[in-house]
C-alpha cells in the first residue's frame, strides 16, 4: 500500500516541519512550535540531522517524517530515531513501516529511540522491527528546597575529561552533551567531604554525577535552584527513590527507551 507515496531523504526543512506538525497534531503531548522553534529544539539542540531525516509525500504534501541523528561514542556508533510522525489521514497505509525501514537502511551501529508509554501503535511497530525496551524515562518537577552544600561553577571540559568516562550510568541522548548541541553549565557540589556534579541547561537538570548513596543530598542541592525539571531513568532506582522522598512531583507522562543492536 505504500507504493502510492514517495520518500525523500534530506528534504527541505519546511517539509520536515510540516510533516512533523501534522503527524503530531493529535499527539498525547500537544506541540505548538513555529518553524524556527522547531528547528532550534528538534534539529539543532537534539541533533536530529536533516540530511539523515526522511519525509514521505502524498503527491506534493508532506505526510510523514522520521527524524534521525548519528553520533560516535566510546561504545561505538549510535543512530537515533528522534521522532516518527504520520499524518492522521494516511495512517495504517504502510508509511510508518516504510519510513522506519529506510531509517534502518541508513543507520549505523546501535539504533535507539524513545516512545511515550501508552502509545501502543508505536510500541507494536517498534517491537515488530526488533527494538527492545532497555529502561524507562521519568520526568520530575522539583520542589524548592534549601541546601547546605557548597556549589561552585566547574569548567565544562571536566565533563568530557572526567565525568562521562567514569559515570556509573549511560545518559539518555537528549541529555548527553556529547551528542546534542546545547549550552550547559556544570556545577561542582561539596558537602562533608562528599562530592558530586550537576549538569544544568537553564531550569533543566540534564544529569547528576555521583554515587547512588549520595542521591538525596545531591538532588536537594539541585532543587535549591528552583524551578527545576529533572529527568531520571529506571536504571538509577536510588535516584528516583530520593526524588520521591524529597517530594518532587512526577509527571504523568513517561517514556520507554528502546534499542536495537547493530546488525
Whether the CB-CB separation of 13 and 50 falls below 8 Å is answered with yes
Fill in the DSSP letter of residue 107.
Answer: -
Average model confidence (pLDDT) across the chain: 94
Count of Cβ atoms closer than 10 Å to residue 120 Cβ: 9
Local confidence band at 30 (pLDDT 50, 70, 90 cut-offs): confident
H-helix or E-strand spanning residue 157: helix 157-158
pLDDT value, residue 64: 98
Residue ranges covered by each domain of the chain: 2-108, 139-255
pLDDT digits (tens, 9 = 90+) for 114-170: 999 999 999 999 999 999 999 999 999 999 999 999 999 999 999 999 999 999 899
CA 217 to chain CA centroid, Å, is: 26
pLDDT value, residue 29: 78
The closest alpha carbon to 95, from 28, 3, 21, belongs to: 3
pLDDT digits (tens, 9 = 90+) for 188-243: 999 988 999 999 998 999 999 999 999 999 999 999 987 899 999 999 999 999 99
Q: Which residues fall within 8 angstroms of residue 1, CB to CB, at 6 or more apart? A: 93, 94
CA distances from 147 to 106, 185, 221 (A): 48, 19, 5
Q: Which CATH class, in words, describes the domain spanning 2-108? A: alpha beta
Local confidence band at 93 (pLDDT 50, 70, 90 cut-offs): very high
Give the integer Cα–Cα distance in Å for 25 and 217.
41
Give the integer Cα–Cα distance in Å for 70 and 246.
37
SS3 of 170-212: the string is CCCHHHCCCCCCCCCEEEEEEECCEEEEEEEECCEEEEEECCH
pLDDT value, residue 32: 85
The mean per-residue pLDDT over the stretch 24-33 comes to 85
Local confidence band at 31 (pLDDT 50, 70, 90 cut-offs): confident
pTM, full prediction: 0.92
**Whole-angstrom distance between the N-terminal and C-terminal Cα of the chain?**
27
Decide which of 28 and 237 is more confident.
Answer: 237
- Unique residue bearing C-alpha cell 565544562: 156
Residue 133: is it exposed, middle or buried by C-beta count within 10 angstroms (0-12/13-18/19+)?
middle
- Unique residue bearing C-alpha cell 543530598: 217
The closest alpha carbon to 7, from 50, 63, 47, 49, belongs to: 63
pLDDT value, residue 15: 98
pLDDT value, residue 2: 44
Radius of gyration of the chain (CA): 20
Local confidence band at 1 (pLDDT 50, 70, 90 cut-offs): very low
Amino acid at each position: 500500500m505504500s507504493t502510492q507515496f514517495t520518500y525523500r531523504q534530506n528534504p527541505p526543512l519546511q517539509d520536515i516541519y510540516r510533516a512533523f506538525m501534522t503527524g503530531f497534531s493529535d499527539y498525547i503531548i500537544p506541540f505548538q512550535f513555529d518553524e524556527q522553534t522547531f528547528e532550534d529544539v528538534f534539529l539543532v539542540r537534539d541533533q536530529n540531522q536533516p540530511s539523515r531525516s526522511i519525509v514521505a509525500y502524498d503527491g506534493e504534501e508532506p505526510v510523514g517524517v522520521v527524524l534521525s541523528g548519528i553520533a560516535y561514542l566510546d561504545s561505538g556508533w549510535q543512530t537515533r530515531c528522534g521522532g516518527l510522525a504520520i499524518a492522521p489521514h494516511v495512517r495504517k497505509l504502510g508509511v510508518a513501516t516504510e519510513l522506519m525501514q529506510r531509517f534502518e537502511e541508513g543507520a549505523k551501529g546501535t539504533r535507539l529511540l524513545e516512545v511515550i508509554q501508552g502509545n501502543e501503535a508505536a510500541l507494536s511497530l517498534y517491537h515488530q522491527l526488533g527494538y527492545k525496551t532497555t529502561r524507562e524515562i521519568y520526568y520530575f518537577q522539583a520542589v524548592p528546597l534549601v541546601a547546605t552544600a557548597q556549589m561552585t561553577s566547574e569548567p565544562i571540559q571536566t565533563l568530557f575529561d572526567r565525568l562521562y568516562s567514569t559515570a556509573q550510568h549511560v545518559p539518555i541522548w537528549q541529555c548527553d552533551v556529547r551528542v546534542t548541541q546545547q549550552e550547559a553549565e556544570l556545577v561542582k557540589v561539596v558537602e562533608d567531604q562528599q562530592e558530586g556534579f550537576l549538569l544544568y541547561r537553564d531550569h533543566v537538570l540534564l544529569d547528576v554525577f555521583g554515587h547512588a548513596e549520595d542521591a538525596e543530598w545531591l538532588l536537594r542541592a539541585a532543587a535549591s535552584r528552583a524551578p527545576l525539571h529533572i529527568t531520571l531513568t529506571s536504571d538509577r532506582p536510588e535516584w528516583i527513590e530520593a526524588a520521591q522522598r524529597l517530594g518532587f512531583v512526577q509527571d504523568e507522562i513517561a517514556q520507554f527507551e528502546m534499542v536495537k543492536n547493530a546488525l
